[in-house]
Amino acid sequence: MVGSRRIAKALETLALLALTAGISQAQGGAVRPCDPATPLGPSHDLYCIELVPAPGVAGVSGRVELAIPPGPFTVAVTADGHSRFIPVVFLTGLPATGRGGGTYVAWAATPQMDSLIKLGEVKNGRVELRAIELDRFNFLISSERSARVREPHGRMILRGQSPSTRPFPPDLLEFSVGGMGTGGEAGHHEHESSGWPMPPVPPGLTMLPAEMALRPEVAPYLPGSDSAVPVARPREVLRVANGDTIQLAAGLVRRTINGQTYTMYGYNEQYPGPLIEAARGSEIVVRFKNQLPDSSSIHWHGIRLDNPFDGVAAVAADHDFTYRVRFPDAGVYWYHPHVREDIQQELGLYGNLLVRAEYGPANREEVLMLDDLLVGESGLIPFGKDSPTHALMGRFGNLFLVNGEPGYRLAVRRGEVVRFFLTNASSTRTLNVSFPGAHMKVVATDAGPFEHEAWVESVVIAPAERYVVHVRFDRPGPVPLVNQVRGLDHLFGRFFPLVDTLGVVSVSSDPVSGDLRTSFATLRRDTATTRALEPYRRFLDKAPDQTLVLTLQTHGLPFVTERLMQLDSIYFAPVEWGGTMPMMNWASTGRQVRWVLKDPATGRENMDIAWHFRRGDPVKLRFVNERRSFHGMQHPIHLHGQRFLVLSVNGVPNEDLAWKDTVLVPAGAVVDILLDAANPGEWMLHCHIAEHLSTGMMMHFTVD
Ligand code: C2O
Ligand code: CU
């Protein structure tokens, strides 16, 4: 109970500060520039800035909508992880500039005013400006003599602040919570009696003692170690032909990672599971043996197979099941259990399944499964036995694995073009990976190629998504594979860089034989994909057939969690990249948190929703990720047994279509997809964050 009265007091101060901030922001009952046209639109408090007239300026008003620029991903970020938005300004009442000419110019500046960017000329009505890539910024409009000015000289007319400036500045908050450092010994005693070891806390975060004392209210679970458990070996490649039968056995394995030995799970005693390579149009039989202590299954993620073999039905411990898997589409697929993914997938049950399409030329191929494991001082951090821990944000790991191992290595020759097949097998972490200094283009995704290739500085890949990229290494020396994102200390609204190196590509000075310089330099159009999409184009503009709201319910969360999450000043970025509320997140379980898919047309939720679609009729679905819920967060939404096109994000149309089965819906965002409802059966739709799925975020739909 050390210091708990002080905490309560500090929290009160915080709440009071939040309250006054809230009042000053939301005076009056009139319609405000950022008020949403519809409650089912993009979140106005995440993607809109209200412009306030400068003192002495009257009759002028406006807003800035922060549009997510179109691209292969549903969020836009720089290679180092800064969000990129296109400001779209809407202004009314700007006075005419008089006889001497003159104009109005928009600017973005960091809150400390140490960096100033000229965004362009504005006028009454709608103007789209150049992209902003700042964590937090002020938006200013000044009256200028000429549009060519490089700094604001004239009078300030309107100003506003990015939503990310909402949290209190560190000094103010630090002052109000004075002396609240990281937790003392109080937490330590408790942990010994609860059976939970302390999870690692990322460096550089400010934590309240009340947070440090939190523990999950479930019993811990880890697979028992036993000397009979076999040592796992790296995956093998299974090239299967039409009609082949293969075996996949799930069981306990021993794995040594960074010198530490852990009991984990594996398919065929391998990590990851075998890489299955099949030809488009073929069909195989898979005999699954469940040798785990619990029920399990194999779900063939993204594959449009026959409904009874989808792998949603659990196979009891010590039982077998035979799956028939057919491959109608080229794509990068993967397989994993559909029972307690938060435990089973995290412990190593996943493998890739490759059905090659016709890609542009490359010198070699690498198939990489990306993952993060949560490891503490005395081993793996246990799982919740009857209900998942980390129910709020999912389990962020602290040890990055590529194909089950840390420190991925690849040696290439100078000028080599490598085709990487990337799969994100982590429980919750959305990655922003790149090879700094090497050129990269994105070629294909989940279930096929993009209509046209695109240069990218990084790949944003959410759990369960896949991307195919071509990378050319034209400079000798080491090139790291990095995940670079912006962490956010929610309490203080402080952004900081999070950089993790997943591996290193060594580029030798010997040139590659068969240089692909010319073919790599041109962005290829995939005419086959474009032609195959023709029958779908007339459905792209239709109204949504169904809408789904993504939200959550909580009950009985610890006091400190409730209070902090409900501060008016709290800010959730479009993507929660780094698990920067580690203790509150860890201690939240499925007993307190229920993630919800809600059909606003019927009020039904999760498994009570029963959508029916007619086979062959493309369906437009709209996902609305409610920011105003207790904790807004991105959700990678996956539909079983079908494929879809991502049509728009916050109303901005996608200009480069490709078939997908998983789409990242950023916090507060609205994403439209066109579902090719072509495969009959009753199928699942769910969030692929393992802890969200395990705490209810799933539903069924039927294709008749
Ligand atoms: Cu990869 Cu239902 O999941
Ligand atoms: Cu989710």
pLDDT digits (tens, 9 = 90+) for 386-427: 999 999 999 999 999 999 999 999 999 999 999 999 999 999
Mean pLDDT of 201-219: 84
Of 133-142, 165-174, 306-315, 447-456, minimum mean pLDDT range: 165-174
Tell me, what's the pLDDT at 207? 77
More confident: 256 or 563: 256
Tell me, what's the pLDDT at 560? 81
Mean pLDDT of 673-702: 98
Distance CA 569, CA 584 (A): 18
The answer, yes or no, to whether any atom of ligand 1 lies below 6 A from the CB of 425, is no
Of 9-23, 532-546, 555-569, minimum mean pLDDT range: 9-23
Tell me, what's the pLDDT at 29? 60
Above 50 in pLDDT, residue 680?
A: yes
432 band by pLDDT with thresholds 50, 70 and 90: very high
The answer, yes or no, to whether any atom of ligand 1 lies below 6 A from the CB of 466, is no
Query: Dmax over Cα atoms in the chain, in whole Å?
Result: 90
Ligand 1 geometric centre to CA of 295 (Å): 16
Distance CA 663, CA 376 (A): 31
Specify burial of residue 623 (Cβ count, 10 A radius: 0-12, 13-18, 19+). Answer: buried
User: Would you tell me how many other CB atoms lie within 10 Å of the CB of residue 444?
Assistant: 28
Which region, left, alpha or beta, applies to residue 79 given φ > 0 means left and ψ of -120 to 50 means alpha? alpha
3-state secondary structure of 154: coil
Mean pLDDT of 3-12: 44
173 band by pLDDT with thresholds 50, 70 and 90: low
Ligand 2 geometric centre to CA of 38 (Å): 23
Q: Please answer whether residues 411 and 457 qualify as being in contact, where contact means their C-beta atoms are separated by less than 8 angstroms.
A: no
Pick from 300, 230, 298: which is nearest to 264 by CA?
Answer: 230
Specify burial of residue 197 (Cβ count, 10 A radius: 0-12, 13-18, 19+). Answer: middle
% of the chain beyond a pLDDT of 90 = 78
Ligand 2 geometric centre to CA of 308 (Å): 26
Q: What are the φ/ψ torsions at residue 457 (nearest 5 degrees)?
A: -90, -20
The answer, yes or no, to whether any atom of ligand 1 lies below 6 A from the CB of 486, is no
Of 52-66, 94-108, 110-124, 574-588, minimum mean pLDDT range: 94-108
Ligand nearest to the CA of 695: 2
Above 90 in pLDDT, residue 183?
A: no
Q: Which atom of ligand 1 is the closest one to the Cα of 662?
A: 1
Alpha carbon of residue 434 to chain centroid: 16
Tokens 């493998």 belong to which residue? 351
Tell me, what's the pLDDT at 604? 98
The model carries a pTM of 0.93
Tell me, what's the pLDDT at 408? 98
Q: Please answer whether residues 216 and 374 qualify as being in contact, where contact means their C-beta atoms are separated by less than 8 angstroms.
A: no
Extended strands (E) in 534-607: 546-554, 593-598
Tell me, what's the pLDDT at 175? 47
Tell me, what's the pLDDT at 195? 81
Mean pLDDT of 181-191: 39
Above 80 in pLDDT, residue 167?
A: no
% of the chain beyond a pLDDT of 70 = 91
The amino acid present at 352, given as its one-letter code, is N
Above 50 in pLDDT, residue 226?
A: yes
pLDDT per residue as tens digits for the range 13-70: 444 333 333 333 444 467 888 887 778 889 888 999 999 999 999 999 999 999 999 9
Residue nearest atom 1 of ligand 1, based on CA coordinates: 301
Give the list of residues 6+ apart from residue 575 with CB closer than 8 angstroms, or none.
Answer: 75, 77, 430, 460, 634, 664, 666, 667
Pick from 283, 292, 234: which is nearest to 264 by CA?
Answer: 292
What mean pLDDT is reported for the chain?
90
Above 80 in pLDDT, residue 564?
A: no
CA-CA-CA-CA torsion sign (655, 368, 427, 398)? negative
Tell me, what's the pLDDT at 1? 33
Which 8-state DSSP code applies to residue 197? P
Above 90 in pLDDT, residue 182?
A: no
Distance CA 102, CA 44 (A): 32
Tell me, what's the pLDDT at 565? 77
Distance CA 23, CA 316 (A): 56
Above 60 in pLDDT, residue 684?
A: yes
100 band by pLDDT with thresholds 50, 70 and 90: low
* C-alpha distances in Å from residue 225, one per residue of 254, 261, 264, 265, 634: 8, 10, 9, 11, 36
Strands 245-257 and 61-67: unpaired
Tell me, what's the pLDDT at 193? 56
Distance CA 40, CA 627 (A): 11
Q: What are the φ/ψ torsions at residue 58 (nearest 5 degrees)?
A: -125, 155
169 band by pLDDT with thresholds 50, 70 and 90: low
Residue nearest atom 3 of ligand 1, based on CA coordinates: 301
Give the list of residues 6+ apart from residue 234 with CB closer than 8 angstroms, or none.
Answer: 270, 271, 403, 404, 405
Above 60 in pLDDT, residue 474?
A: yes
537 band by pLDDT with thresholds 50, 70 and 90: very high
The answer, yes or no, to whether any atom of ligand 1 lies below 6 A from the CB of 640, is yes
Ligand 1 geometric centre to CA of 253 (Å): 23
Ligand 1 geometric centre to CA of 161 (Å): 39
